[in-house]
Structure 1
Amino acid sequence: MALQESLDKMQLRQSYRNLWHTDLMSTIQADFPFCCLALWCGPCVSYMLRKRALYNDMSRYVCCAGYLPCSGRCGESKCPEFCLATEVICCFGNSVASTRFLLQDEFNIQTTQCDNCIIGFMFCLQQVACIFSLVAAIVGSQELSEASQILSCMSDFVYWTVCACMQTQHKVEMDKRDGKFGPQPMAVPPVQQMSRIDQPIPPPVGYPPQPAYGQPYGYPPPPQAQVQGYPPPGYPQPGAYPPPGSYPPPGYYPK
């Protein structure tokens, strides 16, 4: 039942429409000092970010944010601070991923394809490094053992780097949530779309033109040229009313 709920949440997360404020490739530029802090002190940063994601209300804390079967069964309600410290130390990767899922579900944030590729490469490199280490231990080859150690170092470097970028991404997103991004005075204004609703004065479509500046209202407009072919034949022309022959001549009255 819990596995089915997790699968349903994963499928629902794919239909989210919002995006992270900063992708993984731009986190170093977005907040370089925090990215360095997350690289060298990942568990401490993970503790701080989870507590901030819960709005500093540790009564809401659940192990791994409720995304694992052990969630809610570790006595979190009695000592949430200690449980969170244990989580970020013993299950650092799960703590980062749980904070990520927590923010995604709260703000309907999807992960871009580039971020998915980076995270997927990290997992694949870890699996390959693990396989090489097992093969090297079974075969006993010195060359294969050295290759597996190099691959493991590369895997660890990529793992900690990606986790640091992910945590910086979470921090920037919560800065956005908490309104820490003020208006930029020198920023270029966004492109405005012209529409009749946004215009202070609607365009004169279907309306007579307004009088020019300084011209009094009610001033007779200049005579307009008669459109050729109007009025049609058989109708009296302008200035010839009443039409000749339609009324008796003046001075003639019936007796």
Structure 2
Amino acid sequence: MSCLFCFSGDKLSPEERKGKYGDVWGQYADNDEAFKVKLCGAPCAEPCCWIGSMVCWPCGQYKLRYMVLNHQEPGSGWKNYTCCQGLFGGCCCIQPGNLGEESCPQLCMCLEGCCCAGMAVSASQGVIMNQYNLGLDSDDVRLIRCNNCLQFLAIFASCLNICIDFDGDDAIVSLLNLIADVTFCCVSGCMTARTYHEVKIREKEAPENFRMQR
């Protein structure tokens, strides 16, 4: 996680808000409200959730999405579930809301957690951010920039590996992929723990609202 601090925590630039994922996160960039705990503080705030979500990712995302949906609308169960909550749109014939979510929401969520790990946690976090108009903190911005850098390095190394044959090229590509995987695992765990913590704290702050609706 310390590598995140090599990147600027300033607000996203207009260029960084472009593209499919830039559009998704750019909409939160100017919101002033913040999560109760920063991204890098999530492991300390919810250590069991952080570790548990990394040990069994699909189970963690299944529980988190159910928790988030029923925080948004208490007692709704899986009624409001769609693939990635429609946050990232669709592709060709794969469109959220038309993938059998209504008849088999739990199965669809399990598949989402297994096949679209990053999108799954981002969708759960997005529900809470939309509900409370939460913005991106400096850790979020560093994460976006760190991921962009890692993706660029991985693509560059892969292209270099194809074009130039030299000793240790496979090892370099493998190392970059390992760094990217470890970073993804740790950061996604932080996102899960932070979203879980946010829901838990907000329900403690206004418990009567959730009891009445349930």
TM-score normalised to structure 1 length: 0.64
1:166 aligns with 2:186: no
Q: Which of the residues 151, 160, 166 maps onto 1:135?
A: 160
1:84 aligns with 2:109: yes
Q: Which of the residues 45, 63, 71 maps onto 1:48?
A: 63
Residue segments in structure 1 that go unaligned for 5+ positions in a row: 183-255
Percent identity of paired positions between Structure 1 and Structure 2: 22
Is the contact between residue 175 and residue 181 of structure 1 (CA under 8 Å) also seen in structure 2? no
CA RMSD of aligned residues (A): 2.6
Q: How far apart are the structure 2 equivalents of 1:6 and 1:129? A: 18
Number of the residue aligned with 2:52? 37
Q: CA deviation at 1:4?
A: 11
Letter paired with 2:80? R
Number of the residue aligned with 1:98? 123
SS in 2 for 1:58: coil
Letter paired with 1:112? D
Q: Cα deviation per residue 1:130-151 (whole Å; 9 max; x = unaligned)?
A: 3312321342333222111111
User: For the structure 1 residues 9 and 84, does the alpha-carbon distance in structure 2 shift closer, same or farther, using more than 3 Å as the test?
Assistant: same
Is the contact between residue 38 and residue 194 of structure 2 (CA under 8 Å) also seen in structure 1? yes
Q: CA deviation at 1:9?
A: 6.5
Number of the residue aligned with 1:120? 145
Q: How far apart are the structure 2 equivalents of 1:12 and 1:136? A: 37
Number of the residue aligned with 1:60? 80
Q: CA deviation at 1:167?
A: 0.6
Larger RCO (CA under 8 A, 6+ residues apart)? 2
Letter paired with 1:63? C
| Segment drifting more, 131-140 vs 148-157 | 131-140
Q: How far apart are the structure 1 equivalents of 2:99 and 2:161? A: 38
Q: How far apart are the structure 1 equivalents of 2:165 and 2:79? A: 51
Runs of 4+ in 1 over 6 A off after TM superposition: 3-9
User: For the structure 1 residues 179 and 39, does the alpha-carbon distance in structure 2 shift closer, same or farther, using more than 3 Å as the test?
Assistant: same
Is the contact between residue 83 and residue 112 of structure 2 (CA under 8 Å) also seen in structure 1? yes
Select the structure that is richer in helix. Answer: 2
User: For the structure 1 residues 23 and 43, does the alpha-carbon distance in structure 2 shift closer, same or farther, using more than 3 Å as the test?
Assistant: same
User: For the structure 1 residues 181 and 161, does the alpha-carbon distance in structure 2 shift closer, same or farther, using more than 3 Å as the test?
Assistant: farther
Q: Which has the larger radius of gyration?
A: 1
Match runs of 1:13-32 below 5 Å: 13-32=28-47
TM-score normalised to structure 2 length: 0.75
Q: How far apart are the structure 2 equivalents of 1:44 and 1:88? A: 8
| Segment drifting more, 118-127 vs 92-101 | 118-127
Is the contact between residue 57 and residue 114 of structure 2 (CA under 8 Å) also seen in structure 1? no
